[in-house]
Amino acid sequence: MGVRRTPAVTSLDLLAPQRSALITGLRMSEREAAWLRAIGLGEGVEVTVLRRAPLGGLLHVRVSGGAELAVDRELARNVELGPGEKERP
């Protein structure tokens, strides 16, 4: 389970399947951000991409709270990730 520095991955939509990273910020209105935090996609949460639907479809992710979510790719673009990503735990 090695940790690789990959500065290119700065948002959730760029995270490859079976890789995990920490959410560090939400680039959206406070109202949307509050809703996302309540769902479980807030800052400090470790998120793992399980798979991506083809043709720019949804991302299937797992958050550290245990829930699995399907996330819109457009929204994922505005979910900032920390600089360190790693293989899925």
Q: Which residue in this structure is represented by tokens 């520095």?
A: 5
Q: Of these, 1, 3, 8, 38, which contacts other proteins (CB under 8 A)?
A: 38
Check residue 89 for interaction with other proteins (CB under 8 A): no
Q: Of these, 60, 83, 85, 86, which contacts other proteins (CB under 8 A)?
A: 60
**How many Cβ atoms are within 10 Å of 6's Cβ, its own excluded?**
17
- Using alpha carbons, list the distances in angstroms from residue 37 to 16, 43, 60: 22, 7, 17
Check residue 40 for interaction with other proteins (CB under 8 A): yes
Query: Which residues, including other chains, have CB under 8 Å from residue 71's CB and lie 6 or more apart?
Result: 12, 41, 58, 59, 61, 79
Check residue 39 for interaction with other proteins (CB under 8 A): yes
Check residue 1 for interaction with other proteins (CB under 8 A): no
Terminus-to-terminus CA distance in the chain, angstroms? 7
**Shortest distance, CB of residue 28 to other proteins, whole angstroms?**
9
Q: Which residues sit at the interface with other proteins, rule CB under 8 A?
A: 31-32, 34-41, 50-51, 53-58, 60, 63-72, 74-75
